[in-house]
Amino acid sequence: MQYRNFISNDDCARYIVEVILTNKLREDFQVINPVGKETLSIYEFALICADTYREISGRECHVITPARGQTGKPPLEFKTIHSGYQPTENIRSYLHQFIQMLIEERGRP
């Protein structure tokens, strides 16, 4: 099963501002990995998307997946060495806003 860490654009932008304002950037090259609050499997993310769409639109939404095999590998753990900023958004509230925006732009669910 594949896992992903989800961070909203807003949290990512706030993370960048935090790094800039606290002057944590070094003069040499540095890579920063902003980490979100939630790590989910791709399947779990799809289920949340479907639930959110159903909640907003009142229409059915199914998640279809290929047969899943067992990898035997432990789930990935997403970490960062930068502790100054902690993300505030969770995936459900972010998806609710995002899907609502998509439906409004399209004009129907």
State pLDDT tens for residues 88-108.
Answer: 888 888 888 888 888 888 876
52 pLDDT more than 80: yes
Q: Taking a C-beta distance cutoff of 8 angstroms, is the pair 4, 36 a contact?
A: no
Q: State mean pLDDT over 1-20.
A: 84
Confidence of residue 33 (pLDDT cuts 50, 70, 90): confident
Tokens of 83: 């502790």
Strand partners, 39: 5
pTM of the model: 0.59
| Distance between CA atoms of residues 83 and 107, nearest Å | 42
